[in-house]
Amino acid sequence: MRLYLKNQLDTEALGASLATLCSPGDCLALDGSYGMGKSTFARSFLRALTGDVALDVPSPSFPILLTYDTPAGPAFHYDLWRLEGPDALDELDWDAACEGIMLVEWPERAEDMLPNGALHVTFEQGAGEDERVVSLTGWPDARLAKLKV
């Protein structure tokens, strides 16, 4: 599925909408280069998942992992840009995360540790400064069909 997002609000709406489809065991791999909106997407996803519209969701770029308690169980937000290598995931609660809800920025750095069946949410620059083109791959069509965008 390919979506055209006009601005940050559209990215936030997509994050909130995808949160309603996720349950423990799901992984969203947030692909795309710097500043494409991965953390912005994750913030609205986690606010929707927790039901707290003002939830503080900093970028996990320095700690690599930030966790959140949600009514759907624990959620794990990773930014793997600074990861030394996939072996380092063992010390970052990766096994527990795979049984919870995971959001992973720079997922290629996890290499083959990334769970099978992850939904890849790939952000690319659109024509205008605030526009983005997003592709969603990795889930069955029937599941993505439930997405309200």
* Contact residues: Mg ion, CB under 5 A: 38-39, 59, 105
* Touching ligand ATP, residues 75-104 (CB under 6 A): 79
The CB-of-137 to ligand ATP minimum distance in angstroms stands at: 18
**Residues 108-137, mask of contacts with ligand ATP (x by CB under 6 A):** ----------------------x-x-----
Q: Please, are residues 76 and 1 in contact by the beta-carbon 8 Å criterion?
A: no
Give the residue from 5, 78, 12 showing the smallest Cα distance to 44.
Answer: 12
Q: Please, are residues 128 and 134 in contact by the beta-carbon 8 Å criterion?
A: no
- Specify the residue, 38 or 109, whose C-beta has the smaller distance to ligand ATP: 38
Q: Quick one: three-class SS letters along 26-68?
A: CEEEEECCCCCCHHHHHHHHHHHHHCCCCCCCCCCCCCCEEEE
Q: Write out the residues near ligand ATP by the rule CB under 6 A.
A: 5, 7-8, 10-11, 32, 34-40, 59, 61, 79, 105, 130, 132
